[in-house]
Structures are given as structure tokens and as C-alpha cells.
Amino acid sequence: MGREDSHYRPDGGAARGTGRSGSGGATGRVPVPDAHLPRAAEPSPPVPESVPERPPPLPWRPPGGSAPVGPNTGRFPALDSNRPTSAPPSGRAAIPTSPAPGLPPPGDESTIPLPTGAPPLGPPISALPASTGAAPPPASTGAVPPPASTDAVPPPMPAAPRRRLPVVLALVLLLVLAGVGVGVTRPGPVAGWLGDDAGPAPTAGASAEPDPSDVLAGPDPNAPLPSPDGVRAALDPLVGVADLGDRVNVSVADVTSGQTLFAKGADDGTVPASVTKLATGVTVLAARGPGYRIPTRAVAGAKPGEVVIVGGGDTTLAVDKKGYYPGAARLDDLAAQVRTALGGVAPTSVTVDGSIYSGPRYGPGWDADIPTGGYGGAITALMTDGARRDPSVGSGGAERVSEPDLAAGRSFARLLGVPADTVERGTAPPTAAAGGSSPAPGTELGVVQSPPLIRLVDIMISESDNILAEALARQVALARNQPASFDGAAAAMDAEVAELGLPAEEINLSDGSGLSRRNRISPSVLTDLVRLAASPDHPELAGIFGGLPVGGWSGTLDDRYRGAPGTGAGAGAVRAKTGTLTGVHAIAGLVTTADGRLLTFAVLTDKVPGGTDTAQPALDRIAAALANCGCR
């Protein structure tokens, strides 16, 4: 069983790859306008006023009175005003970018730090406390505020910063987004995407912070482009090793230009395992938008005293403040709203309505032991804490309840003072005209909302959360008026990928988590998805970068790129999503070369003869080789 996502069994398992037998290569596949770094020879685009240089970040300190926290505790910290993030503090310079569709006009722009979703797994040494808000923008001008006095700017960083692993996580998203041409701050309602409230600006008399530590240098905007011959020389000896089996499909492309640098079976559909979540993240952000929140409602039932709780697909819903997911909506808040709406009339029964979902509760192509293995479970429209029986258990495998909807309904009933053994499934009555002394059947009694999708995508990718992934896939289906089922979600995701301009024939999904062995995605579709998310034409898709694990430091890469020979260069330089099923190993994401060039890569192999102890280091050497060379 793999701790990572899915489902690794050392006893072996069948995995057949299918797809077209093309030779690979993605040249000219999908144009991503302006998704590139500025070159010295090109004129700089006009910017409003001047953009002051950013001072380096200050060291992160845990909240006062908190216990020391080591890296990679396996659980994200609670979201509050003291949580570390990799976003810059408020008041820093903004880099204007093209707003997403539906954003306010230029005269209504605000300078807001780029969202990074859920906080990293363990506080990085040099991360900053979360910003409490930004100063109001200049009235109706859209201009960047003038730089603050240089007396208040911390000392500049050393001229030759060294790579130090403990400080990578705080800045890696900032560096990645700077490298791919996505601004560190955006105009428009980004704070609304995150659900953050503006707060007071820092006081001028704050005590001075110590000098910052050295940090990982960012990608060089003028770094030389690796040559296909150079990349081939570096990778050819690595992609053919026996530990990866005889079906290894690879795509490597330059984020700046989109040029394909290496292609081996790049257009062939391959079992992607949990790398599927990259497609899930991109498609749900495209279909719903980063600020969408999933509601859980309570309405008056058809019988006197009946309360119907209507699940909308929020798997992060908590019973109370002790829930698993940070910032989650809570049933105790919903119960309080219901009591207020009923005006002191005691409810007598609770009905659970999960009818927004249809079809089977377990996915097609899932291995038989997934329902009880701790990494998957029944997919229902109402559940709490991702169906975990104990929300205090850390990330990874956890015992799940077999009927998540009824378990959530019973928790809700207890909060309302209703006997839990009376909870049953049913459907909410249609809304009726108001009248009488009691709420009419169908009258809304309360509603709570999930964190915004940008946070949920971040958690899904960083934690490789399979149940959350299935819920997000169903949001794509609902947005496209498709059935919220495995089949409906898969078809909707395929269609969304096609609408984004990617080759639909190279992706064929059966679920949103990657647990299904029926899924097929080509490596070049994955690198295209990453490039598309980097494009300033699609700022709403950049949310997939916040949760990408960092080599040797966080998420599913926290224990990789460390001790295995030939992998060390990838520590801090590789940021990628991993995938593991028995006989299937995959990785896709971003890597910065030794020259500072930002590349996107995907390596999928679905006929691995051995286990993770040999396959993962072999896979990691491929990305590490890209990080270690200029490949010219």
C-alpha cells in the first residue's frame, strides 16, 4: 500500500497500457501565448508606474506559545492569521497580469498576494506569517503604489545565494510562478478566491527582524535553452533502465518557448495513477473558477419537525472545530443556524439527501481492497472529514466509514438533539411558498460553504487526497450539467480538457483520483496542462502550482531526492505530482535546470517489474538529471 495516494501492493498487479503507438513529440501541440519568461532582446511590456524591487523574505516564526514544529509533520497546520505561506507580505510591489474572465475592470483592481492554497506540510524556516491584508489601492488608477522608503527595506540578499533545502518550500511557488510568467500578485478578487479578509496594515514601529537566510535562487529569465540533443544525451541512459520496465513514456518541454526537448512515447496513453489529479485540478478550476465554494444546506422537511441536510459534495465538511481539514465548513455552525431558523421549535428527525450524486460509490477499475485500504472509500455527496473515522489521524491512509452520508447525518442529528438512530436517507421537498407559523417544506434553514476551490485543489495535490479528488471531479460534471457520477465526471473532465485546446484523444479517464487502472493520459498532455496553467491567459489555473510537492522537502516528495544515488540534484529543484499503483509509477511537474531554465516534464511507466524501492529512485534520476545539467 503506497502512503502516497493510491494503492501500491508489493504482491504485484496487472497494469496494461493502451494508447496510440505514436513516436511522441508535442511540437506545435498547444500554443500558450505569453507563457514565457522575458528575454533580454525583447522590449519590456508597459507597466503602470514603476515596480519597486521586493525585499527578501523574513524568517518565519511559529505563533507565540506554540510548540516547536518540525518539517513534514504529515499534516498541514490550521489556517489562521499566523500560518506560514509562500506568498509575499502585503504592501509589496505588484506585477500586473491579465485578469481572468469576469474580474473587475482595471479601475477596480487591487494588489493582493497570489493565492497559495493550503499551507505547506510543516513550516519552512524562511516563510512569512500570513498577510493580514493589503492596503487599499489608489482610487480608480490601477497604478502600482510607489515604493516605500528604502530605510524600511531589509538588507539585500547575498550576491551568490546557495541552495539550502530547509528554505526551499517557502519560496518555490514564488520562483515557479515568476519563471513561468505568472505574476506574484494579480488584479481582481484573488483574496476572495482564498476567502481571506483584509486586515490592518503593519504598524510602522514594528521591531526589526534579523537578516534573512540564504534561499534558493529563482529561474534565470535569460537562461539558455537546453538543446534536444543535450537533453537526449542526459536522459537516454536513464529511461531504458530495467527498474522502470519496458514501457516508459516521457515528455520534456521548455516552459518558456513550449519547445519539445525530449519525447519517448509522449503521445501514448499511459496509466497515470495519482498524476491524474493534475488534470482534475486544472479542469475543476477551469469549470468552476478558483473562488467557487461547495454548499451544504439544511431545509425544512415535508413532515413537521423534519430537517433535511442536503449534501453538495464537500468532503472537507467537519463536525466541529476538531475537523481534519483547515478552514472547513462545520456542522455545528449549520445546526446553530437551523435552531435560529426554527425559532425555538425542536426538530424531531433528520433526513440525509445525497441525491446530487448518482451511480456507484466505488470507481471502475479500482482494486478490490481500495474500499478498506485507507486511501479510498465510498464517494457520497455528504460526508465529514473525508469519511475518516477519526479526524485526528494524520495524512495518508486512514480508516474510513462505510456509509459516510449516514455517519454525517447522525453527527448532525446529535448536534440538533435528535436521536441518531432515526436518521435515514431521503430527498428534500421542493421549495414551497412561505406561509404559516412554521417554515414551509423546502424552506432553507441554513447553509455552510466549503473553502474556495483554490484551497481544495491545493490540498488535493499536496496530500494526494483521493476522496477529495473524486468530489472535485464531480464538480466539473455539475458545472457542465452532467451526472455527478464516475462516468459523468470522467466525461466532463475529458470535454473540459478538449475545450482548453488539448488533444482529447490522448486522455481517457474513468475517475478523478487516479485509483482506476482504466485511466489513460499521455505524458505530453500533462506537460501541456502545466504550460497552460502557467499562461497569463489562464490565471485561474495557476492554483495547481501551490500544492505541488517539493523534491526532498514536502508532500509525497518529502523523502525522495535525498539519499538515493544520482537523485540529489532534484532536491529543491523538482516540484511535481507523483503517482503510484502496483506496477505503475509516474511523476509530472516542473524542474529548474542548473542554468536556471524552467522545464516541464512527465514520466509515466505502467509495467514496472519491481517495487517502489527500485522504481522510484530510477524515476527520480530522470528529473534530477534535468536539474543537474544545462543540457546544451
- Hey, which residues are catalytic here? 274, 277, 464
| Residue 38 vs residues 219, 229, 454, 545: alpha-carbon distances, Å | 11, 24, 27, 20
Looking at the DSSP bridge assignments, the partners of residue 599 are 254, 591
Using an 8 Å Cβ cutoff, are 428 and 308 in contact?
Answer: yes
Annotate 224-259 with b (16+ C-beta within 10 A) or e (fewer). ebbebebbbebbeebbebebbbebbbbbbbbbbebb
Rounded to the nearest 10 degrees, what angle do helices 276-288 and 453-463 cross at?
180
Phi/psi of residue 35, each to 5°? -85, 60
Please identify which residue in the block is written with the cell numbers 479528488.
Answer: 469
Q: Given CA atoms 208, 80, 547, 293 in this order, what sign does their dihedral have?
A: negative
* Rounded distance between C-alpha atoms, residue 579 and residue 599, angstroms: 19
Using an 8 Å Cβ cutoff, are 590 and 576 in contact?
Answer: yes
Three cell numbers at 174? Answer: 514564488
**Read out DSSP for 410-432?**
HHHHHHHT--GGG-EE--PPPP-
Using an 8 Å Cβ cutoff, are 251 and 498 in contact?
Answer: no
**Read out DSSP for 583-628?**
TEEEEEEEEE-TTS-EEEEEEEES---S-HHHHHHHHHHHHHHHHH
Using an 8 Å Cβ cutoff, are 364 and 511 in contact?
Answer: yes
Three cell numbers at 442? Answer: 423546502
Rounded to the nearest 10 degrees, what angle do helices 466-479 and 486-499 cross at?
70
| Residue 57 vs residues 95, 124, 194, 569: alpha-carbon distances, Å | 17, 12, 21, 24
Looking at the DSSP bridge assignments, the partners of residue 388 are 400
Looking at the DSSP bridge assignments, the partners of residue 520 are 508
Using an 8 Å Cβ cutoff, are 607 and 245 in contact?
Answer: yes
* Rounded distance between C-alpha atoms, residue 14 and residue 365, angstroms: 11
Looking at the DSSP bridge assignments, the partners of residue 254 are 599
Q: Based on the number of CB atoms within 10 Å of its own CB, is 28 exposed (0-12), middle (13-18) or buried (19 or more)?
A: exposed
504, amino acid identity: A
* Rounded distance between C-alpha atoms, residue 395 and residue 464, angstroms: 9
* Centroid of chain to Cα 93: 25
* Rounded distance between C-alpha atoms, residue 35 and residue 531, angstroms: 7
**Read out DSSP for 149-167?**
PGGGSPPPPPSSPPP-GGG
Three cell numbers at 214? Answer: 540564504
Three cell numbers at 547? Answer: 500544492
